[in-house]
């Protein structure tokens, strides 16, 4: 019995030693079935070229690019290299996990065809997988479409995106069921708008060196919660680098409930809504070295965006430079140039009270130049926003001072720490509504 107890004690002691130590590092990784955490650094990976000519897949539309994506995804991932040229899109490019979309910068252009719209000629219930169009002229099989309608008792439109996959006359089958009611009494319409590149429930994506043009003048609006030149929903670990997202009747780049997204060395310009839209619930976004020009809002922190970094971006001529609000907490905005914003450089939105506001954010070492109108503030902190640090920034106003303010602090705010900033050319440096 004594020997048995000794053996148990020895085992427990050895177990404690093992638990207290560190797991040996993987120095010679191997490809092992089911192991996605550790992968050898392969010198070559599967690559498919898509182009107007001299490519693995020859074509000039979304179908050719989608064929490349589906091919490499079938084998666990790889690169789809889109050769120089303009590719006209009637539907989204749907990415899958571990797929990299690579272009030739300004020479590879994904261009949105003009949109068309019509009302529904018959009601479709939530369990249906078909719609009937009042006027089907211009719609084709394979088109990406967005349906909108106001359901009974709702104060907002239901919005879904689908693809037309079969037809008889004006009746079209959809790639997926509706799962909501689209009734004529709710002003149901179908519009051929969609994000140019998109993904849902995917991981480890890369989009690099591409130009995406939304053809804003000839397309209906698609709200940034559903689309953009680039749009991602419920994805993780996305790298977007060297991409131009321009001329979209909606957002430039939008991601919703997506984590660990890197947007680097990109341009978002002349988009009707948001340049970059780190969307609801997105954790740890990194937004670095981007040019955001002539959008409605340059960077819009949506709901519950946390632990993000916006660094070394150049924001010029947007209506609002950066907007922070609903439960957007613990973010750092640093080393950015924010200039010529029409309304305000940085806005902390009032939301619905302090329990909804964006707290514990830091605005550090930015340059804010000529933002807002004659009575505007370069930084405007509204509502019940708390625990904001504004430190080491340069505020410059080269126009007449008028009634311009560098930092406006709302009456309901708390713990707003403004220190060590350089402020020049304003009528007032700080306007504190609590005093």
User: In the numeric block, which tokens belong to residue 228?
Assistant: 């953009």
Please say if the pLDDT value at position 1 is more than 60.
no
Model confidence over 191-210: pLDDT tens digits?
Answer: 999 999 999 999 999 999 99
pLDDT, position 14: 47
Domain boundary among 191, 208, 239: 191
Q: Does one domain contain both 369 and 269?
A: yes
More confident residue, 340 or 8: 340
Q: Does one domain contain both 154 and 273?
A: no
Q: Does one domain contain both 219 and 342?
A: yes
State the distance between the two ends of the chain, measured CA to CA, in whole angstroms. Answer: 79
Share of the chain above pLDDT 90, in %: 88
pLDDT, position 330: 98
Q: Does one domain contain both 253 and 291?
A: yes
d(CA 255, CA 259): 9
Helix H or strand E encompassing 294: none
Q: Does one domain contain both 400 and 270?
A: yes
- List the beta bridge partners of residue 283: 306
pLDDT, position 11: 52
The model's pTM is 0.93
Residue 5 confidence class, pLDDT cut points 50, 70, 90:
very low
More confident residue, 310 or 32: 310
343 found inside a domain? yes
Q: Does one domain contain both 109 and 130?
A: no
30 found inside a domain? no
Domain containing residue 401: 47-113+194-432
Q: Does one domain contain both 199 and 235?
A: yes
Q: Does one domain contain both 319 and 370?
A: yes
β-pair type (108-112, 85-89): parallel
Handedness of CA 325, 255, 274, 372 (dihedral sign): positive
pLDDT, position 123: 96
Q: Does one domain contain both 107 and 82?
A: yes
321 found inside a domain? yes
Across all residues in the chain, what is the average pLDDT? 94
34 found inside a domain? no
Domain boundary among 140, 168, 191: 191
Q: Does one domain contain both 198 and 175?
A: no
The conformational region for residue 163 under phi > 0 = left, psi -120 to 50 = alpha, else beta, is beta
Model confidence over 103-134: pLDDT tens digits?
Answer: 999 999 999 999 999 999 999 999 999 999 99
Total domain count, the chain:
2
Q: Does one domain contain both 54 and 179?
A: no
Query: What does the DSSP assignment read for 296-348?
Result: SEEEE--SS-BS-EEES-EEES-SEEEEE-TT--S-EEES-EEE--SSEEEEE
Domain boundary among 141, 160, 191: 191
Query: What does the DSSP assignment read for 38-96?
Result: -----S---EEEEESSSSSEE-SBHHHHHHHHHHHHHTT-EEEEE-SEEEEESS-EE--
């Amino acid at each position: 019995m004594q020997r048995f107890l000794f053996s148990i004690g020895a085992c427990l002691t050895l177990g404690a030693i093992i638990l207290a130590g560190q797991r040996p590092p993987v120095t010679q990784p191997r490809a092992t079935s089911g192991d996605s955490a550790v992968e050898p650094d392969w010198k070559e990976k599967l690559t498919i070229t898509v182009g107007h000519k001299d490519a693995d897949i020859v074509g000039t539309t979304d179908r050719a690019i989608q064929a490349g994506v589906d091919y490499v995804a079938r084998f666990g991932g790889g690169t789809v290299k889109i050769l120089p040229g303009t590719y006209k899109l009637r539907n989204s490019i749907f990415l899958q996990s571990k797929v990299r979309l690579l272009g030739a910068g300004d020479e590879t252009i994904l261009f949105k065809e003009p949109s068309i719209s019509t009302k529904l000629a018959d009601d479709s219930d939530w369990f249906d997988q078909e719609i009937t169009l009042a006027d089907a002229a211009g719609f084709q099989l394979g088109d990406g479409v967005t349906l909108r309608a106001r359901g009974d008792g709702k104060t907002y439109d239901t919005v879904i995106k689908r693809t037309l996959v079969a037809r008889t006359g004006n009746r079209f089958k959809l790639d997926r069921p509706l799962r909501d009611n689209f009734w004529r009494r709710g002003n149901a319409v179908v519009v051929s708008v969609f994000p140019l590149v998109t993904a849902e429930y995917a991981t480890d994506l890369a989009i690099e060196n591409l130009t995406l043009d939304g053809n804003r003048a000839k397309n209906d609006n698609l709200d940034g919660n559903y689309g953009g030149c680039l749009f991602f929903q419920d994805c993780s670990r996305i790298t977007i680098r060297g991409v131009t997202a321009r001329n979209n009747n909606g957002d430039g780049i939008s991601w919703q409930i997506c984590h660990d997204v890197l947007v680097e060395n990109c341009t978002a310009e002349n988009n009707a809504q948001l340049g970059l839209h780190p969307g609801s619930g997105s954790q740890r976004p990194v937004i670095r070295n981007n040019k955001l020009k002539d959008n409605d809002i340059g960077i819009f922190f949506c709901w519950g965006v946390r632990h993000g970094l916006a660094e070394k971006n150049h924001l010029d001529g947007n209506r609002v430079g950066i907007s922070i609000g609903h439960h957007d907490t613990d973010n750092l905005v640093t080393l950015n140039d924010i200039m010529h914003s029409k309304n305000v450089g940085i806005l902390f939105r009032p939301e619905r009270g302090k329990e909804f506001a964006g707290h514990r954010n830091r605005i550090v070492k930015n340059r804010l130049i000529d933002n807002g109108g004659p009575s505007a503030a370069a930084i405007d902190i509204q509502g019940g926003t708390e625990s904001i640090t504004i430190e080491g920034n340069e505020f410059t106003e080269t126009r007449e001072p008028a009634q311009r303010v560098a930092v406006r602090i709302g009456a309901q705010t708390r713990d707003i720490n403004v220190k060590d900033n350089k402020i020049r050319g304003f009528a007032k440096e700080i306007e504190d509504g609590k005093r």
